[in-house]
Amino acid sequence: AQTVTQSQPEMSVQEAETVTLSCTYDTSESNYYLFWYKQPPSRQMILVIRQEAYKQQNATENRFSVNFQKAAKSFSLKISDSQLGDTAMYFCAFGFSSGSRLTFGEGTQLTVNP
């Protein structure tokens, strides 16, 4: 079975600064996907970024980027130029290439302070 671990229950950062959220996972599969979702107070789950395991290049989406270390089974999210709207619960998730079933970490509550 797959497991996803987020070891930082809470983090805070000053507006405009950079913050990194950690995620580790465990799987015996070689073909899979990793995702970061954010869940603001509205509870809407929003996709932030995704990474295919077969790609060596780290994914980037505007201010969001990942550091994917396949051998170490590590998948951290870096948020640059943090904005107040980034305040949310962030979940790391693992999925198979066939999609459909995601395994989530426990979440990291990120607060961006003005």
Partner 1 sequence: KAGVTQTPRYLIKTRGQQVTLSCSPISGHRSVSWYQQTPGQGLQFLFEYFSETQRNKGNFPGRFSGRQFSNSRSEMNVSTLELGDSALYLCASSLVLAGEETQYFGPGTRLLVL
5 binds partner 1 per the rule CB under 8 A: no
Which of residues 37, 75, 90, 94 is near partner 1 by CB under 8 A? 37
Dihedral, CA of residue 13, residue 107, residue 47 and residue 15, to nearest 10: -10
Backbone φ and ψ of 17, nearest 5°:
-90, 175
Query: Over 35-89, what HEC string results?
Result: EEEEECCCCCCEEEEEEECCCCCCCEECCEEEEEECCCCEEEEEECCCCHHHCEE
Which of residues 22, 24, 103, 109 is near partner 1 by CB under 8 A? 103
| Segment 72 to 101, residues that bind partner 1, using CB under 8 A | 91, 95-101
Which of residues 12, 44, 83, 111 is near partner 1 by CB under 8 A? 44
Query: How is residue 17 written in tokens?
Result: 């600064």
Stretch that binds partner 1, among 8-16, 22-30, 46-54, 60-68 (CB under 8 A): 46-54
45 binds partner 1 per the rule CB under 8 A: yes
Residues that bind partner 1 (CB under 8 A): 33, 35, 37, 42-47, 50, 52, 91, 95-107
